[in-house]
Amino acid sequence: QVQLVESGGGLVQAGGSLRLSCAASGRTISGYRMGWFRQAPGKEREFVTAITRSGVNTYYADSVKGRFTISRDNAKNTVWLQMNSLKPEDTAVYYCALGRIFGGSYDSTNDYDYWGQGTQVTVSS
């Protein structure tokens, strides 16, 4: 069974930065696409960013492009999300997810098989 544990969330002022971590156990992540999603109160869970197995290719939602950076270290079984220039609209619970081993869309929640419990990010204005 795969377990994903996010950490690094918190309260930050607008314009600040946070770095989220996602530590995996129970399976090596090296063979899987990894993604970050977020869910604000009253809204559906939405795609934030994803990274391919090797880390060569990354994908971002337009709303975070240029401000957020996803990275991974397969040897450490860990994925990170560096968030800069945070805005109040970035406030949400952020979830790490492990993608299907074959195919699927990098931005669809349906194509990720395992999820972490989430970490709260709150950006004050």
Residue 4 one-letter amino acid? L
pLDDT at 11 over 90: yes
At 96-109, the pLDDT tens digits run 999 987 778 999 99
Residue with tokens 């530590």: 23
Going by DSSP bridges, is the β-strand pair 10-13/119-124 parallel, antiparallel, or unpaired?
parallel
Query: What tokens does 68 get?
Result: 């957020």
Neighbours of 13 (CB within 10 A): 10
At 50-79, the pLDDT tens digits run 999 999 999 999 999 999 999 999 999 999
- Is 22 within 8 Å of 35 (Cβ atoms)? no
Which pLDDT score is estimated for 39? 98
Give mean pLDDT, residues 110-115.
Answer: 94
